[in-house]
Structure 1
Amino acid sequence: MPEGPSIVILRELTEDFVGKRVLQVGGNTRTIEPFRMKGLAVRRVASWGKHFLVQFDGFVLRVHFMLFGKYAIDEDLPDRVPRLQLRFARGRRLNLYACSVRYLEGDIDGLYDFSTDVMSDAWNPRAALRALRAQPDTLACDALLEQDVFSGVGNIIKNEVLFRIRVHPESRVGALPPTKLRELVEQAREYSFDFYHWKKAYVLRKHYQVHTKTECPRDGTRLSYAKALGRKKRRAFWCPECQRLYR
């Protein structure tokens, strides 16, 4: 599933379409009427967490890439039919594959709270701390995946942040010392920007410390693995030696 930094990159790549008119639409979507966009100009593109947003006059196209979604700009993926295709002048096009698409009525700023987006200039870490303190029994691995607290944080970021701050994923939020709680909030944003820069440089996987790995890079301990950890039942990788369990 694309995480927040990947959607920010998509937003940057599609900013050239702002002000351009949609000449043709296509794709196999059955959840929206794609021809509503035909002839309309793109007013804005934005990202909020894992949502890619395209603003038209009076409504927004919301795209969520789910587990296996992809996109292609000015090219077609071989042997794939797009869920939605937007065609512009001079043969330019945006193809969206294996994703969820829907319309939202209104404007982006009225629909989304950007203070929860870890990569937004409006990100509010104090609000994130308050939200965490209000759920003391939540496991750290679940807390980082709460999109109304850490919009854009996905499973890779979760695993790597907990390794960075040396916290076991099954630690309870209410048991974390204040310094660790602040580190969790700070690193949710800092690692997201690291992820963004590494992905743009095509070196993201080289920087994984525990995600999909078998040995701790700090102490050589064999990493623990769970296929479906916590309430959200997501894959987890951690070091049983250097990531402390706070109960």
Structure 2
Amino acid sequence: MPEGPVIVLMKEDIQKFVGEKVIAVGGSEIEEKILLGKSLKEIRLYGKQTYLVFDEINVRIHLLMFGSYEIDEQTKPDSNLRLGLSFKNGKAFFYTCSVKLLPYDFMKTIDWEADVMSDIWNSEKAKNKLISNPKMMVCDALMNQDIFSGVGNIIKNEALFRIAVQPESLLGNLPSEKLDDLIAEARNFSFDFYKWKRSGVLRKKFQVYEQKNCPFCGKPLTKKITGKSKRASFFCETDQKLY
């Protein structure tokens, strides 16, 4: 599933269409007449979700597990196309994703401060949410989009390795300073992810995700399905502590 940093990069690619009118609509999810002639006023992000804001309506795009996008040139089959938007200065194509029309007022229901890559990210609010869930595993907390919107499995694994905490640790057992570390590294690694993805070196930077040995002690990493999210965790039982 594309994580928050990938969605930020997507926004950068489609930003050139802001202020432009839609001159054609394709794909299987939205009737052409709904968006035809409408101007794209703004693009807003909430974690892994993208909101294309038009007059009195917005389109929410979620790339899910296998979604993707292309700019200007369509190279994938129409059967995968969920939404295609044409403007005078180019085209945007969204494939194998969720596309939903939502009223403009829906935006008021979103906690924008939960987006880990947002300029208005609220770390204190995140900490209060963690404290109120003492029985939750840290792996589930990081994957909880109401707490860390935009964090996915890669960020989860790498952030936990950075703070030397095993994924099945309980939030209530973590010292306050470790909670602070958890919050900080969820955001820090997200921006590193963005920088490395943009430069094409992301996979070379992984320390534990889909790796075999710990970069510190050299011992084999443990791979295990953890938490309620049932996602794969990669961790070192020597260099990461179970709380």
Give the TM-score category using the shorter length: over 0.9
Distance in 2, matches of 1:242 and 1:34, equals 55
- The answer on 1:14 being equivalent to 2:14 is yes
Structure 1 counterpart of 2:35, one-letter code: M
Structure 1: distance between partners of 2:53 and 2:182 = 33
Q: In the TM superposition, what is the alpha-carbon distance from 1:206 to its structure 2 partner? A: 0.6
3-state SS in 2 of match to 1:211: coil
The match for 1:154 among 126, 148, 152 is 152
Match of 1:210 among 196, 200, 208: 208
- Cα contact 2:166–2:242 (8 A) shared by 1: yes
C-alpha distance after superposition, 1:84-136 (max 9, x if no partner): 1001115x110000000001101575242211000001100000000000000
What is the CA-CA distance between 1:37 and the residue it aligns to? 0.7
Identify the residue that residue 108 of structure 2 maps to in structure 1. Answer: 110
User: 1:217 deviation in Å?
Assistant: 0.5
Deviations 1:169-210 (A, max 9, x none): 000000011111100001111110010111111111110000
User: Counterpart amino acid of 2:236?
Assistant: C
Question: Is 1:42 paired with 2:45?
Answer: no
**Alignment correspondent of 2:228:** 231
How far did residue 235 of structure 1 move?
Answer: 1.1
Structure 2 counterpart of 1:58, which letter? Answer: E
TM-superposed deviation, 1:79: 3.8
For 2:31 and 2:222, locate their aligned partners in 1 and report how far apart those are by CA, in whole Å. 47
Partner SS, residue 119 of structure 1: coil
After TM superposition, give the deviation of residue 26 of structure 1 in Å: 0.8
Check conservation: 1:116, 1:148, Cα contact below 8 A.
yes
Q: Which one-letter code corresponds to 2:162 in the other structure?
A: R
Counterpart AA for 1:110 = K
User: For 2:16 and 2:41, how far apart are their aligned partners in 1?
Assistant: 11
Residues 74 and 93 of structure 1 are in contact (CA less than 8 Å); yes or no, is this contact kept in structure 2?
Answer: yes
State the number of aligned residues: 242
- Deviations along 1:34-91, whole A, 9 cap, x unmatched? 431111010001211000110000111000000000000001124454111001115x
Where do residues 158-237 of structure 1 align in structure 2 (5 Å cutoff)?
A: 158-226=156-224, 228-237=225-234
Unpaired runs of at least 5, structure 1? none
Tell me the distance in 1 between the aligned counterparts of 2:220 and 2:99. 41
1:77 alignment counterpart: 75
Task: Give secondary structure in 1 for the equivalent of 2:210.
Answer: coil
Residue in structure 2 matching 1:240, options 233, 237, 241 = 237
Q: Do 2:222 and 2:235's aligned partners in 1 also have CA atoms closer than 8 Å?
A: yes
